Amino acid sequence: MASSPLDLAPVVPVVVIEDAADAVPLARALVAGGLPAIEVTLRTPAALDAIRAIADGVPDAVVGAGTVITPAQVEESVAAGARFLVSPGWTDVLLEAMRASGVPFLPGVSTTSEVVALLERGVREMKFFPAEAAGGTAYLKSLAGPLPQARFCPTGGIGPGNAPAYLALPNVGCVGGTWMLPPDALAARDWDRVEGLAREAAGLRVR
């Protein structure tokens, strides 16, 4: 895999899986559509089993764990096969656990001070969350001047309409989103539709 989830595809699908049996066909649809990096959020009891199933059953997928907020979750996620970690925010305790995991990680930030604090700790790649609520493209554009060494995966309120504006920024490597995973398609297990939406998302890169 690439050294960073920021470099795998323009969009990282943020997946909430209720039934681990859906994990493999869902991941196959996303990979077939051109989105190999898949963030499975630890918001459901099925999440770790889903990560394990994707890691074992979809070799072309690069599965990661999202909503990681404790060192225990870091350990469990990596043991399940997660190849990257994403958190909505960070503390020094969580940061050290992610660093010790040996896999790439994206700690979440929403303020300039948090970005500076991570840069001070040697971390240059971050999740910007909640992107739209925290200032959107205007905020990230403002950060690029004084803090050009920081790179971001903005997530939160991003869809096909505004994703290109984020992807056009020099400090954005990719965006995270859920729009290629509409609830009705997931409920119907309409993997062909998911694949088509993933293909459209994969074509959003503007550079």
Residue from 1, 180, 155, 197 nearest 82 by CA: 1
d(CA 172, CA 128): 10
Q: Which is catalytic among the residues 18, 39, 96, 132?
A: 39
Residue from 42, 83, 88, 77 nearest 63 by CA: 83
Q: Is 127 a known active-site residue?
A: yes
Q: Which is catalytic among the residues 75, 127, 132, 141?
A: 127
Q: Calculate the alpha carbon distances from 200 to 29, 34, 57, 125, 167 in Å.
A: 13, 9, 24, 25, 14
Residue from 26, 94, 89 nearest 63 by CA: 26
Contact 81, 49 (CB under 8 A): no
Q: Residues near 100 by Cβ (< 8 Å), separated by ≥ 6?
A: none
Q: Is 39 a known active-site residue?
A: yes
Q: Hey, which residues are catalytic here?
A: 39, 127
